[in-house]
Amino acid sequence: GESVGLHLPTLSVQEGDNSIINCAYSNSASDYFIWYKQESGKGPQFIIDIRSNMDKRQGQRVTVLLNKTVKHLSLQIAATQPGDSAVYFCAEATGTYKYIFGTGTRLKVLA
Amino acid sequence: GVTQSPTHLIKTRGQQVTLRCSSQSGHNTVSWYQQALGQGPQFIFQYYREEENGRGNFPPRFSGLQFPNDSSELNVNALELDDSALYLCASSSLGQGSYGYTFGSGTRLTVV
């Protein structure tokens, strides 16, 4: 398949380790934040979301942290697996559900 | 889910193209995004109940339609080389809340 991102920041982690992917968002009025995973040749796949009235939300093996003071979002993946290798995008939205996507981070899981 | 057609398309500069999307059943909102290679998706426009509900920074030669049967189209006139990108359709039920958009796999458009 085609590469989603050729010159993206890359995070390399050992299989089984935890991964932390960071994102700075731009609009202090954004009230909804989402993390998407995108594999080569595919569209973005929803991972987890969080509203601005929360600072932490947990899913299965994933946690999203929101720091509104510094407009920062992070995605933590526990026990990273080879299938987690992909490009990860954060997105912010305000009410109308128009998403503004970040530039993306490529996650490489090393065996 | 959301299905898009065709998966790949090659067009010549100046031509017109229509991309199609079939939304998830019951979703009343569809958005289109353009994703250039190596970048995040950029919002083109959103349709809610067959009317344009918001638009990004794209010229009028990008237009769309949403139909009552959960399908929609993105039309691009007078294609330019920079229009080469992955075009993503995403559907949602506006007001649904925490589940956000479901994206299709996209149409890869190459303009030569």
Identify all chain B residues contacting A3, using CB atoms and an 8 Å cutoff.
37
Between the CA of residue B31 and those of A18, A96, B82, what are the distances in Å? 33, 11, 20
Q: Does B40 sit within 8 Å of A102, measured CB to CB? A: yes
Identify all chain A residues contacting B40, using CB atoms and an 8 Å cutoff.
89, 91, 101-104
Identify all chain A residues contacting B42, using CB atoms and an 8 Å cutoff.
101
| Closest to B2 (Cα-Cα) out of A42, A97, A33 | A42
pLDDT tens string for chain A (111 positions)?
333 445 689 999 999 999 999 999 988 989 899 999 999 989 999 999 999 999 999 999 999 999 999 999 999 999 999 999 999 999 998 766 688 998 899 999 998
Tell me the mean pLDDT in the region B87-91: 95
Rounded CA separation A18/B42 (Å): 30
Q: Given this model, what pLDDT does residue A105 score?
A: 96
> Best interface-test mutation with B: which of A2, A94, A98 has the largest number of B CBs within 10 A?
A98
Q: Does A102 sit within 8 Å of B37, measured CB to CB? A: no
Q: Is the peptide bond before A9 cis (omega within 30 degrees of 0)?
A: no
Q: Which chain A residue's Cα is nearest to B29?
A: A97
Question: What values do phi and psi take at A46, rounded to 5?
Answer: -60, 135
| Closest to B85 (Cα-Cα) out of B61, B60, B107, B112 | B107
CA B54 to the chain's CA centroid = 13
Query: How many CB atoms are located within 10 Å of the residue B34 CB?
Result: 23
Q: What is the pLDDT of residues B65-87, one digit of tens each?
A: 999 888 999 999 999 999 999 99
Rounded CA separation A58/B43 (Å): 27
User: Above pLDDT 90, what percent of chain B?
Assistant: 70
Tell me the mean pLDDT in the region B9-31: 93
**Statement: residue B18 has pLDDT above 60:** yes
